[in-house]
Structure 1
Amino acid sequence: MAEQDAPPALVADVLTVVSELVSNARRHAGGITGFQVTVRADQVIVKVSDRSALLPHLRPPSAHTPGGFGWRVVKTLAPNTFVRSHPSGKTIIATLPTRKPTAAAYLDPGVVVGAAARAAPGGLSAGRNTGR
């Protein structure tokens, strides 16, 4: 990833996903049977294989039981993560986008928000930018 000049936040996210998947494979699935990281221009793909056929699942948060956040963290950082079952266990495939869309990518270009809304006539509410 260093050769790709990856942003530090992406590197941190990939390391977190790798750490969670490897830790869970060791703790809950009999150890790691395969590991691969593929870096592409638009995504980083992390594959971790283990011996267990049991699928990961979200555990409800509990103040009395430590842990239980790993799968939630993985699914948050790599929402398109999926599991491929095979005769010798499973492979978890986590895909992290290399470019996160900005909030502006989701907004109608005609909507004013944030600082622009505060400066717009009418004050703090967001509204349609009429060019006035």
Structure 2
Amino acid sequence: MLVAIGSDHGGFCLKEEIKKFLAEKGVACRDYGTHSTESVDYPDISLAVAQAVAAGECDRGIIVCGTGIGVCIAANKVKGIRAALCHDVYSAQMSREHNDANILTLGERVIGWGLARMIVDVWLKTEFAGGRHRQRVEKICALDKLL
């Protein structure tokens, strides 16, 4: 699995910790920035990560900002992306199992590193359940054609 990862300045420190965690788990990642705590515009980072996932260059993506909200909104503007903001383990599991989320967004100023680690771990391990959820995800994907 190859994970696209990115953050704005408000999520930089958590992004760096997540990169270390992914390396420990043997999960490869591609960093789309930012590379410091200097101010950047989060839509630019979200777009880069979302395009990499949508194009199939990366299997999934993780984006971090201060709250996780802005990067989630921006990523979901890209056709084929199902980004989920998760600040608890159950939501992370359900975002994968029921919604086949392909991008996880997190807020560095909202959750601590220990919780973020558990969320990322569950999100990476959880597979899409398919079944009755498949037709719902297909309807979500069909919305891309309306735009």
Superposition TM-score, scaled by structure 2 size: 0.23
When Rg is computed on C-alpha atoms for both structures, the one with the higher figure is: 1
Instruction: Looking at secondary structure, tell me which structure has more helix per residue.
Output: 2
- Please, what TM-score do these two structures have when normalized by structure 1? 0.25
Using CA pairs below 8 Å that are at least 6 residues apart, which structure has the higher relative contact order? 2
More strand by share: 1
